[in-house]
Each structure stands twice: as structure tokens, then as C-alpha cells.
Amino acid sequence: MAEAIVPIDDFNEAGGTIDRYRLACYLVRDGKLITYGKDTAVSDYCYLNQQLVEWMLNQINTQTDHGPLEPLSSMIASSKPRYAVVGIGATCYSDFGNSEDRFLRTGDEVIVATYDSTQYGAVELEQAIRSGAESKASMIIMRQKLSTLA
């Protein structure tokens, strides 16, 4: 999770702050920046705004302990969290992300970024990533270098 947080002004309907944001995923391998997940508008996700809120509430209220799923309602009841962090899922994979070469290797650097598309474009994002820039206003870059694989 990134240290910075994107403030959202309205999550109930289309047209809010989140609609301007895009997500992109990269891998740095052998000094090359490789697109791992397609640069995707958050507004293109299947569930967003009120539909996502309704889906989350349904999952919290009905999800049971089955396979990888956790019994959310009992977990929330026992811990009484003041807030929650919601991950909306991965972007669609690029050709590389769908290839046999996609599996992580020691030395790879995984990068997940989000940016306000009214302030930056994909070119500016990739330049920031290549230059080693840290997150800045309306552009959050998360990096993790794999020193070893278990």
C-alpha cells in the first residue's frame, strides 16, 4: 500500500474525483521497463461508485469462510475498525503479463502506479518511473524490489 492516499470527493456517482484516475502496472527486469498491466481508467472497472459500495456491503453481510474468502461480518464485528482500505483489483494484463515470462524473478522491481489523467499522461508517468521519482501530488508510484523469492 502506498504512503500517499488519493482523496475522493464523491464516491456515490460518476463524475467524482476517482473518475479522473488511471492505474498502471509495470515490471523492471534487467533494466527494462515492461508494461505488466494495461494502463486503465478506474472508471472502466466493472464496479465503481454506488454499485461498488452496494457490492461491498453485500459481501460484508453475506460472505462466508470458503476457500480464499473470509467471513467479513464476523471479522468486522470482532475488531470494530474505524475505516477500511478497499482494493479494486488488478488492471487487465498486457501481452507480457499474459506470457510465460510474467512470473517474478529475484531482482525484479514491481511497480503499481495511479495518476490523475487530467494532470499527467502515460508518457509522464513512465518518465517518472524511469527517473526513480517518488510519488507526488496526483501521481502515486509504489515500488517493490524482489530480493529473493520464497
Q: What is the pLDDT of residue 48?
A: 82
pLDDT, tens digit, 9 for 90 and up, residues 30-86 = 999 999 999 999 888 888 888 888 988 999 999 999 988 889 899 899 998 888 777
- pLDDT above 90 coverage of the chain, percent: 49
83 half-sphere exposure, CB direction, 13 A CA radius? 1
**Is a pLDDT exceeding 80 seen at residue 4?**
no
The pTM of this model reads: 0.80
Best CA proximity match to 117, nearest among 39, 51, 35: 39
CA–CA dist 105, 108 (Å, integer):
6
**If DSSP codes are grouped into helix, strand and coil, which group holds residue 102?**
helix
**Is a pLDDT exceeding 70 seen at residue 150?**
no
Q: What is the pLDDT of residue 11?
A: 72
Q: What is the pLDDT of residue 144?
A: 92
- pLDDT, average across residues 95-100: 91
Q: Are 98 and 124 in contact (CB under 8 A)?
A: no
Give me 129's grid cell: 518511473
Q: What does 21-81 look like in DSSP terms, one character per residue?
A: EEEEEEEEETTEEEEEEEEEEGGGSSS-HHHHHHHHHHHHHH--SBTTB--HHHHHHHH--
Work out the pLDDT band at 2, boundaries 50, 70, 90.
confident
